[in-house]
């Protein structure tokens, strides 16, 4: 069985005599300085924090994982022999028939923690295929085993995978059929011959193992790399930017980013590497690629990342290139909005690390969870329901894999003016009788751009297009439904807050930022020299300027909520597919009502009824025109008003501590000859590839959270539920 070679799940560290040239030939280090006494002390504190945070698995769990891998290896070997016999091969061929299991991802790199899944790859002979043999025959074998639960095939994924739990341990199993009749037990996965005469899906499946091994060969110190990567993955999960499927970064992306910093600071210890990580990437000039070694070309002529030749590669926003042939961009999922969010978080990490180095803060401050439901005033809520838990497992996996497309479509249809922050965490309302899951996206206007008078964001067509794509799911069953609705922060459902906690007022830093913006605006417009006076003027209703052409301030009905009495009551007939009716949704007020918006200290009146109710909401300095109605045919709420607010922060420039001369020379080597490609920065007027069908924003948009530059504007966002 070919699995991990070391007790902690990673490959054996490369020997000292390995190709040192591979490490040094790409770029020279930024610094070869070693740790000081203070660095050593901070490193001890960091390692203690990681242990106390439960990031290391116990010996019993490690033994359980090894046993699961051994059993899985036996299953695939028996499966291949069975297929060989059924296809009439000789007894000798049946005896020699073999399949091997490799691990990759965090387990292969040796940075896995308790409870995480094991990424595995099954390599079989040429006559055992993926479509029939793997996804049907092996799937049925696993489905009949008591040890296997939550079996979920995903054959249409970019890298086809079968997900399941084996004795309670999560497994992601890929399959690769290579062009040989007998797979040797000691197969060398790094040998380029395994790539001969295979399809692209097989190449992508093989690449996971090949990339993991190559990363370990290219870092100066494997143990320092592992500790740093374990730390940064934990940070990314706490800050909500760890998810390849939603457009952020996954395990291999973070591994390559950390490995690059290890190359730039070869003698640094983990506490130094974590700090340098944020210092480097808070200043990185995307879309300059991050590469661990030069891009290799081969006589196999497989597609590689090359923006000089491949038109679409020019528009990748955050290229992170895999080090094994064929070199690919592992972060093609990143969108304008998700890159903006990650740059904000890199700046946040850089600021905290500076405070730690000045003994003004502790490591725990770096890992404070991101308070997503206080960061925005407006959200999209994507509710996913099914008749039972098994159906929900399949349905949710499909919808989650397509949520990134909703972000891209909103960026495209609003020309990048409406920015999305998809949150990779899943929520569920356990009080509902029907199986339920929900995802959320934060919404705000593009940073630094003022809206025009009466400008509207009508994304009803965008949401409807997304829905049409979602319902094309080949395994769709009655009861599988999806609903997209707009909710304001004060209307968020209780199940997204731990222990029932729900904040009803804006965070203090946002209020302060808004007050400061009010000061600046008053000074600019009236020439007042007293900021305190302008703040008081805003808060004193008797002193506020009254605009006679403004209609009475009202708000439409509260957003939809799932309120199912039974799974059957959650569905109705719509175009041949079940759908939730208005009667199943809580929080919809049909009568006129008045509520106090405690979040913005103003009174909001709802309209009398649903159909054709036009409203204007006045929140702080921002006014939003809102129109809502119910489609009589679909019986669904068709419009929502979004009030968009950015958040403000401080962008620390750490260029004094480092120089990127060597980086700019090396990282842009493959992009210098690109037309319209500015060295070191994204061109503001750079045109999109029309085939990509989404809108780019400028790289300079990545200002930290809490800006209030766009408050003095009118905007209208219309959203239809699906």
User: Given 11, 81, 213, 242, which residue is catalytic?
Assistant: 242
Nearest to 307 by CA among 718, 662, 678: 678
In the annotation, is 376 catalytic? no
DSSP character for 557?
P
Nearest to 701 by CA among 344, 249, 332: 344
Length of the chain in terms of residues written: 722
| Structure-token pair, residue 209 | 């193992």
Asked whether the beta carbons of 682 and 422 are under 8 A apart, the reply is no
Main-chain dihedrals φ then ψ at residue 344, nearest 5 degrees: -60, -45
Distances 711 to 379, 624, 648 between C-alpha atoms, Å? 17, 11, 12
Asked whether the beta carbons of 98 and 183 are under 8 A apart, the reply is yes
| Structure-token pair, residue 561 | 């909520």
Residue owning tokens 């962008």: 651
In the annotation, is 127 catalytic? no
Expressed in angstroms, the distance from the first to the final Cα of the chain is: 49
Nearest to 480 by CA among 588, 389, 586: 389
Per residue, the 3-state secondary structure of 99-120, as one string, reads CEEEEEHHHHHCCCCCCCCEEE
Give the dihedral of Cα atoms 460, 484, 243, 69; nearest 10 deg: -130
Q: Buried b vs exposed e over 540-576: b needs ≥16 C-beta within 10 Å?
A: eeeeeeeeeeeeebbbbbbbbbbbbeebeebbbebee
Main-chain dihedrals φ then ψ at residue 507, nearest 5 degrees: -60, 155
User: Given 39, 119, 413, 716, which residue is catalytic?
Assistant: 119
How many angstroms separate the CA atoms of 686 and 678, rounded? 9
How many angstroms separate the CA atoms of 464 and 575, rounded? 14
The helices-and-strands tally (H runs, E runs) of the chain is 18, 22
Cα three-residue angle 356-359-361, rounded to 5 degrees: 55
Asked whether the beta carbons of 682 and 286 are under 8 A apart, the reply is yes
In the annotation, is 172 catalytic? yes
| Backbone φ/ψ region at 706: left (φ over 0), alpha (ψ -120 to 50), beta | left
User: Given 4, 11, 106, 606, which residue is catalytic?
Assistant: 106
DSSP states along 455-515: EEEE-HHHHHHHHHHHTT-TT--TT-EEEEEEEEGGG--GGGSGGG----S--HHHHHHHH
In the annotation, is 106 catalytic? yes
**By CB neighbour count within 10 A (0-12 exposed, 13-18 middle, 19+ buried), where does 256 fall?**
buried
Looking from the CA of 561 toward its CB, the CA atoms found within 13 Å total 20
User: Given 96, 117, 390, 458, which residue is catalytic?
Assistant: 117
User: Given 217, 233, 432, 538, which residue is catalytic?
Assistant: 233
Give the dihedral of Cα atoms 516, 521, 522, 523; nearest 10 deg: 90
User: Given 73, 133, 172, 618, which residue is catalytic?
Assistant: 172
DSSP states along 658-707: ---HHHHHHHTTTTTT-TT--TTS--TTPPPPTTT------GGG-PPS--
* 421 DSSP β-pair partners: 442
| Structure-token pair, residue 325 | 């042939």
Show which residues are catalytic.
106, 117, 119, 172, 233, 242
């Amino acid at each position: 069985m070919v699995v991990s070679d070391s007790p902690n799940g990673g490959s054996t560290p490369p020997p000292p005599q390995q190709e040192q040239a591979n490490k040094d030939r790409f770029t020279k280090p930024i610094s070869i300085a070693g740790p000081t006494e203070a660095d050593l002390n901070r490193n001890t504190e960091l390692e203690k924090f990681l242990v106390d945070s439960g990031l290391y698995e116990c010996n019993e769990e490690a033994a359980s994982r090894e046993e699961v891998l051994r059993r899985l290896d036996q299953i695939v070997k028996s499966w291949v022999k069975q297929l060989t016999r059924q296809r009439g091969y000789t007894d000798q061929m049946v005896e020699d028939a073999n399949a091997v299991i490799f691990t990759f991802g965090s387990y292969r790199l040796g940075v896995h923690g308790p409870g995480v899944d094991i990424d595995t790859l099954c390599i079989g002979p040429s006559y055992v295929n993926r479509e029939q043999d793997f996804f049907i025959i092996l799937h049925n074998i696993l489905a009949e085993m008591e040890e296997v639960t939550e079996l979920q095939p995903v054959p249409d994924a970019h890298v086809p995978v079968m997900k399941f739990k084996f004795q309670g341990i999560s497994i992601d199993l890929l399959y690769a059929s290579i062009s040989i009749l007998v797979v040797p037990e000691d197969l060398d996965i790094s040998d380029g011959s395994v790539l001969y005469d295979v399809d692209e899906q097989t190449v992508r499946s093989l690449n996971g193992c090949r990339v993991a091994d190559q990363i370990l060969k290219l870092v100066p110190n494997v143990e320092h790399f592992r500790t740093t990567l374990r730390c940064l993955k934990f940070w990314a999960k706490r800050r909500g930017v760890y998810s390849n499927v939603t457009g952020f970064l996954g395990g291999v992306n973070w591994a390559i980013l950390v490995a690059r910093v290890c190359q730039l600071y070869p003698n640094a210890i983990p506490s130094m590497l974590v700090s340098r990580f944020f210092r480097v990437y808070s200043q990185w000039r995307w879309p300059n690629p991050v590469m661990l070694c030069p891009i290799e070309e081969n006589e196999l002529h497989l597609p590689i990342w090359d923006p000089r030749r491949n038109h679409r590669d020019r528009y990748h926003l955050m290229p992170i290139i895999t080090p094994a042939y064929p070199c690919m961009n592992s972060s093609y999922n990143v969108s304008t909005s998700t890159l903006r969010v990650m740059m904000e978080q890199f700046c946040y990490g850089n600021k905290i690390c500076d405070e730690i180095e000045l003994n003004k803060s502790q490591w725990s401050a770096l890992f404070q969870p991101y308070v997503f439901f206080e960061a925005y005033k407006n959200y999209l809520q994507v509710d996913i329901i099914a008749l039972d838990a098994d159906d929900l497992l399949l349905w949710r996996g499909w919808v989650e894999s397509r949520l990134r497309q909703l972000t891209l479509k909103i960026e495209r249809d609003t020309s990048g003016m409406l920015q999305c922050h998809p949150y990779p965490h899943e929520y569920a309302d356990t009080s509902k009788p029907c199986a339920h899951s929900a995802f959320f996206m934060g919404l705000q206007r593009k940073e630094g751009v003022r809206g025009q008078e009466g400008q509207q964001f009508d994304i009803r067509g965008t949401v409807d297009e997304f829905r049409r794509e979602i319902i094309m799911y080949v395994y769709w069953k009655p009861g599988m439904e999806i609903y997209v609705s707009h909710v304001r922060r004060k209307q968020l459902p209780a199940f997204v807050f731990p222990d029932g906690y729900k904040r009803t007022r804006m965070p203090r830093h946002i209020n302060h930022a808004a007050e400061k913006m009010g000061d600046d605006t008053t000074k600019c417009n009236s020439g007042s020299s007293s900021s305190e006076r302008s703040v008081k003027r805003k808060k004193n209703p008797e002193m506020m300027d009254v605009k006679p052409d403004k209609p009475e301030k009202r708000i439409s009905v509260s957003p939809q909520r799932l309120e199912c009495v039974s799974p059957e009551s959650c569905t109705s007939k719509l175009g041949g597919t079940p759908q939730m009716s208005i009667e199943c949704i809580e929080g919809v007020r049909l009568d006129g009502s008045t509520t106090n918006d405690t979040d913005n200290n103003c009174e909001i009146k709802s309209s009398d009824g649903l159909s054709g109710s036009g409203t204007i909401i006045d929140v702080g300095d921002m006014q939003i025109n809102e129109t809502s109605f119910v489609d009589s045919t679909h019986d669904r709420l068709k419009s929502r008003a979004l009030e968009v607010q950015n958040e403000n922060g401080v962008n620390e420039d750490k260029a004094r501590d480092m120089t990127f001369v060597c980086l700019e020379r090396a990282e842009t080597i493959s992009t210098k000859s690109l037309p319209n490609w500015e060295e070191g920065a994204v061109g503001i007027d750079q045109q999109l590839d029309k085939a990509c069908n989404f809108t780019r924003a400028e790289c300079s948009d990545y200002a930290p959270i809490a800006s209030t530059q766009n408050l003095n504007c009118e905007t209208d966002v219309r959203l239809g539920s699906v």
